[in-house]
Amino acid sequence: MSTTPDHPQPTGETAPSSPAAAIGHHGVRELVLISGISGSGKSVALHALEDAGYFCVDNLPPELLRHYMELQHPRYTERVAIAVDVRTASSLPVLVPLIAELRQEGVTVKPLFLDASTDTLVRRFSETRRPHPLSHAEAGAGQHALIDAIEIERLMLSGLREMSIVVDTSTLKPAGLRQQVGALVAHTGHRLTLVFQSFAFKYGVPLDADYVFDVRMLPNPYYVRELRPLTGRDAPVAQFLSEQPEAAELLAQIESFIRRWLPTLAMDQRGYVTVAIGCTGGQHRSVYMVEQLGRRFADHGATLIRHRELDSL
């Protein structure tokens, strides 16, 4: 197990009488739990949180999480980030109930799950020449192929993914991932965070999307020569689309849908909801719609805007 920074040793002080008292005395009020598919960028995310002032620990066995948070040491802070992965697969099932326990004890737990497309993961492992953690696991006659290992890992981590904030890193550069992790941690709290994300269908639907809306039926600014090099964030493109009755109608329908179900989603104890808007190239129509939705839901407070294709440039 490696730590970031070096893992301090216990001081030998008398342990509190109960787990809740231990955590309260220790002062840990916020825990960011980073998990995800191998090769999806967990190390980058952990370093981003370290830079943001979190005390970070990499690859902590899940069964030690409770004991770790009960330690008392002046170097610890109120904000802790811990990364776990499939190398501790046998103890991963304890995490789901433990997260619920910690929340009942007053700790704000923010689970982040990093994911990426299988093609992206295969390319990353090929470029780094690092073996997948499950590539040496035996099943029947021999070793798993890399793709088989990735799919097995997805299955093993499916429970954690279901309860976590999912970040699709397929098209993200390290700087972009650091920015997204910082924004999610800053906005995600007791209130439901809305994430509006534009994307291009030709590059695939985002893995972290909860709702997907297709706006390819709208008039395309790409075919207007003056608008082609611009994006949906530019005034000429915004004016062009605002003058299209179909765009106004579709925008109103998407807004109505979200407002109708937002209270129900919040009652479901979700931390965030990602609404993905897709067009052909992810440059004009989807970007415009996301920008407009961001403005319309500004009164919600906890709102984030992403443009997958633009941010990856």
Q: Annotated binding residues, as ranges?
A: 36-43, 85-88
Distances (CA, A) of 189 to 11, 28, 30, 250: 32, 15, 10, 30
CB atoms within 10 A of CB 241: 25
DSSP symbols for 31-51: EEEEEE-TTSSHHHHHHHHHH
Annotated binding site for GTP: 85-88
Closest to 131 (Cα-Cα) out of 113, 144, 117, 115? 144
Cβ contacts of 239 within 8 Å, gap of 6 or more? none
Which amino acid is residue 5, in one-letter code?
A: P
- For residue 221, the SS3 value is helix
CA 177 to CA 85: how far, in whole Å?
18
Annotated binding site for ATP: 36-43
